[in-house]
Amino acid sequence: MSVIILLIIFSVIVATAFLIAFIWAVRSGQFDDTKSPSVRMLFDEEPTEKDKNNQSKE
């Protein structure tokens, strides 16, 4: 039956690792601003002058 104990120990270790990751994420400020990252990822790489000219020609 000791295999269950082993499994529980492993699972708790994994869970603790996630907890530590969470604490690190909070400490490093990832939860300070929840709005701008969600918008930022949608910004396109800016079309340069060239791209714009190409588009208008097409």
Partner 1 sequence: MGKITSEEKKKTAKEIICFHCGDHCREDHVIFEEKDFCCNGCKTVYEILKDNDLCNYYDLENSPGISLKSKDFGDRYNFLDNSEIQEQILDFKDGNTAKVNFYIPVIHCSSCIWLLENLYKLKEGIRYSRVNFTRKEVYIDFNPHEISLKEVVMTLSTIGYEPFISLEQEEKKTRKSINRNLIIKIGVAGFSFGNIMLLSFPEYFGFEGIDDVLIRKFILWLNVLLSLPVVFYCSTDYFKSAFSGLKQKYINIDLPISLGIITLFLVSLIHVIFNLGPGYFDSLAGLLFFLLIGRWVQNKTYEGLSFERDYRSYFPLAVNRLENEKEEAVPVKNLKKSDIIRVRNGEIIPADSILLSKEANIDYSFVTGESDAVQKNKDDLIYAGGRQAGTSVLLKVQKPVSQSYLTQLWNNEAFKKEENSEFESLVNRISKYFTIFVLLIALAGLSIWLTIDINKAWFVFTAVLIVACPCALSLSTPFTLGNSMNVFGRNHFYLKNTLVIEKLTHITHIVFDKTGTLTENYAGSITFEGKPLNKKESAWVTGLAANSTHPLSRKLIKQQEGLSELSMLEINNYREIRGKGIQGEVDGHQVKIGSLQFMNGEGSEKEGANAYLSIDGEVRGTFRINNVYRKNIRGLIRNLANRYKFSVLSGDHEGEKEALEKIFPDSTSMFFSQKPEDKLKYINTLQEKGEDVLMLGDGLNDAGALVKSNTGIAVTEDITSFTPASDAILDADRLSDLDRFLRFSETSRNIIYLSFVISFLYNIIGMSFAVFGKLTPIVAAILMPASSISVVFFATFAVNTMAKIRKLI
Contact 41, 47 (CB under 8 A): no
Using rule CB under 8 A, residue 26 touches partner 1 = yes
Q: How far is the CB of 28 from partner 1 (least distance, A)?
A: 10
d(CA 58, CA 51): 11
List of residues 6+ apart from 55 with CB closer than 8 A: 47
Report if residue 1 touches partner 1, rule: CB under 8 A. yes
User: Given the rule CB under 8 A, which residues bind partner 1?
Assistant: 1-2, 4-5, 8, 12, 15-16, 18-19, 22-23, 26-27, 29, 31-36, 39-40, 42-44, 46-49
